[in-house]
Structure 1
Amino acid sequence: MSTKYLGLRQLTLFFVALSFFTRLPIPSWVTVDAEKLNKSSRYFGVVGLLIGVITGAIFWLAQLILPASVAVLLAMVVGVLLTGGFHEDGLADTADGFGGGWSVADKLKIMKDSRLGSYGALAIGLALLLKWQLLVELALFSPMAAVTGLVVANTLSRVLASSLIFSEQYVRDDDSAKSKPLAEQQSLNDLFILLASGLFVLLWLNGVVAFSLFIILWCVRFLLANFFRRQIGGYTGDTLGAAQQISELVCYLVILAVGLS
């Protein structure tokens, strides 16, 4: 198999991952199918890195002429526009399902309901408020600290969420026709490439912050995996979105608490 073919194959998988996680356009020659979607999970962290770089650049440029709090809000708006609120929607659906359902079937049914419930509204509202506050605090310490936080958190949170595909069971329901497209399998090779993207951003940081993020995110992953297992027996696309949002907030908290102390 030629190097050119392998390079084109990997580029195709990256574009599939990009189309899955963002609203950014991809080349017309890229076709998406279940096999490519599964293998593209190796690049979910790279997509997070791209989102972090874009939102970080928006913040940096905005804070040159606007207050830090406004610049942070603009960066958050751009982030939502880039992803279409993909992960926020997963957080809201997970909160509604886990908060309002008693049985596994009830929880899955509620999670697939397009209507926003009180648990979901509270989850989104509090998550966005906390994200804004944490980024403002980072920005007030140093604009570059906020940029670093955006890049690191957007990458590591997607690495953590995507890694659950490898170890956890995908939960199906009877009405699978209405389910969102989702990577349901992950090979060991896919996992190694995914983890490499996380390692890449950790190398940007000093040793204490990097080590703290690694240990704390590992604990967060363990807790989330067990929580999802107890609630529904595994994961769905919505719970992966919730995992991304939660771990992104944890990243900001760790950087603020450890990196700036």
Structure 2
Amino acid sequence: MAPNKRGAAPPQENGEGPHDYASSVITKEEVEARGSGTREARDTYDSSRPLRSELRVFFTGLMFLTRLLVPAWVDHHPAYLMRSMMWFPLIGAAVGAWGAAWHSAAALLWPSPPLLAAALSTLSTVWLTGCFHEDGLADSIDGFGGGWGREQILRIMKDSRVGTYALVGTALALQTKLAVLGTLGPARAMSALIAAHAASRWTALPLTYCCTYLQDAEDAKRGLYNWFAASRRLLTPPRLAFATASTAAVLLAILQAAQAAAVAATVLLATVLSGYYGNLVIGGVVGDYLGATIAVTEIAIYLVLAADWPAVAVRWQPLAVLATVAAVPVLWTRRVIAAGGASC
């Protein structure tokens, strides 16, 4: 019998009691033994040597977001990791360019069906990132779908096992991504991949800067992420400005002005809605939630770039109905939470 993410693992069929399925892979103690990701007990950023310090900042971000090798003197120091968020959009653009190269080659070798090029491109990017943001999406879908309170949502999200919500939700998200990439064609897909991977990662910066980054004393990864949360002041306005400017530069370099504006509006809307929902339901954000926002925003960008906007201008009524219907559960959820939560 498979475990489920809502509660404890089911009892063994021989009646010997519950079995910790997660321990057969990696235990909480093993995760805790990793500590804070660095052997340094304090922030060692040296402002007297800014070039080397900033080089370490960049490599920390590269190591965090991808599987690429970095110099041995770079580790997951939370203070450097927080500063490295300024590089997230440009690192994302590089990931998108990697996926675009795969898409272009696959479309040349196997022009039909177009879904094949989209699938190989997505396979290349999730390999390069280690399914990093998809993992956050799966955990967030499980938590927000299966939990009915802040503590339970966060407890489910920490569970390394995959539940039904995560399986179905992530599968549908990936299918949507492949379908819309398949409709763009090779040339448009290449620019869309670079734009989406760059712009979607920008969402992590304002969410971290403006929202409460939740700390959990019981989390096995608390050594890293609680220090990360305490270092929010290191994500300074100049670093935010650099990330915003680099995102805008990428969009304007590879998209038409109208498309770049549409993508920027999409990213801003996704960031605002994500921050609103995170604050409403769990009182802030966590790493998995940031990853989920990036994954969802990436797909939203593809949808915006592939949409038939001239047809929408003529037949806008279906979108108006969709917006109204989609708003109902959000407003109802807010009403329930404001009233003290639902009873089960």
TM-score range, shorter chain: over 0.9
Q: Do 2:158 and 2:219's aligned partners in 1 also have CA atoms closer than 8 Å?
A: no
Alignment deviations for residues 3-23 of structure 1 (CA, whole Å, 9 cap, x no partner): 994333322211100111111
Contact 1:180 1:237 (8 Å CA) reproduced: no
Of 173-182 and 68-77, the range deviating more from structure 2: 173-182
Contact persistence 1:46–1:155 (CA under 8 A): yes
Q: Deviation at 1:229?
A: 0.7
Q: Aligned partners of 2:265, 2:206: CA distance in 1, in Å? A: 15
- Alignment root-mean-square deviation, CA: 2.1
* 1:258–1:220 Cα change, 3 Å: farther
CA distance in 2, matches of 1:180, 1:118: 29
Structure 1: runs of 5 or more not aligned: none
The yes-or-no answer on 1:201 pairing with 2:247 is: no
Q: Does the C-alpha gap of structure 1 residues 73 and 35 become closer, same or farther in structure 2, counting only changes over 3 Å?
A: same
Structure 2 CA distance, aligned partners of 1:64 and 1:5?
47
State the shift of 1:34 in Å: 1.7
Contact 1:45 1:159 in 2 (8 A): yes
- In structure 2, give the amino acid aligned to 1:189: P
Partner of residue 207, structure 2: 164
In 1, Cα distance between the equivalents of 2:76 and 2:290?
A: 20
Query: Is the Cα contact below 8 Å between 2:95 and 2:197 reproduced in 1?
Result: yes
Match of 1:134 among 180, 185, 207: 180
Q: Which amino acid aligns with 1:253?
A: L
Percent identity, aligned pairs only, is 35
In the TM superposition, what are the counterparts of 1:18-37 in structure 2 within 5 Å? 18-37=62-81
Alignment of 1:180-219 (within 5 A): 181-182=224-225, 183-184=228-229, 185=232, 186-204=235-253, 205-219=255-269
Distance 1:259-1:36 versus aligned 2 partners, 3 A rule:
farther
Following superposition of structure 1 onto structure 2, how do residues 250-261 of structure 1 map, counting pairs within 5 Å? 250-257=300-307
CA distance in 1 between counterparts of 2:133 and 2:222 reads: 15
Could you tell me how far 1:33 is from its partner in structure 2? 1.2
- Amino acid in the other structure paired with 2:278: F
Unaligned runs of 5+ in 2: 1-45, 312-344
The C-alpha deviation readout for 1:127-186, integer Å capped at 9, x for no partner, is 1000000100012xxx11000010000000001133311111101223133348454322
Take 1:166 and 1:196, find their aligned partners in 2: how far apart are those partners?
Answer: 17
More helix by share: 1
What amino acid maps onto 1:221 in structure 2?
A: T
- The answer to which structure, 1 or 2, has the higher relative contact order (CA under 8 A, 6+ apart) is 1
Q: Deviations over 1:102-142 (max 9, x none)?
A: 12111110000001011111111011000000100012xxx
**Hey, what's the Cα distance between the residues in 2 that align with 1:258 and 1:219?**
20
Q: Taking structure 1 as reference, are residues 222 and 180 closer, same or farther at Cα in structure 2, changes over 3 Å only?
A: farther
- Code of the aligned partner of 1:110: I
Q: Which has the larger radius of gyration?
A: 2
1:146 aligns with 2:189: yes
Matched, 1:227 2:273: no
Residues 1:100 and 1:47: Cα distance change in structure 2 (over 3 Å): same
Query: Does the CA-based 8 Å contact 1:112-1:179 persist in structure 2?
Result: no
Equivalent position of 1:12 in the other structure:
56
In 2, Cα distance between equivalents of 1:252 and 1:109:
32
Indicate if the aligned counterparts of 1:96 and 1:117 stay in contact, CA closer than 8 A. yes
Q: Deviations over 1:190-241 (max 9, x none)?
A: 2111112211112122121111122222112111110011111000001001
Residue 338 (structure 2) aligns with:
none
Alpha-carbon separation, structure 2, partners of 1:104 and 1:249: 27
Q: Which deviations, in whole Å up to 9, do the C-alpha atoms of 1:66-118 show, x marking residues without a partner?
A: 13321211111111111111111101111111111112111110000001011
Q: Distance in 2 between matches of 1:177 and 1:116?
A: 17
Question: 1:105, 1:173 within 8 Å by CA — same for their partners in 2?
Answer: no
* Matched letter for residue 136 of structure 1: G
Cα distance change of structure 1 residues 6 and 114 upon mapping to structure 2, 3 Å threshold: same
Aligned length: 257
TM-score computed with the length of structure 2 as normaliser = 0.71
Q: Which moved more, 1:165-174 or 1:104-113?
A: 165-174
Give the partner amino acid of 1:211.
A
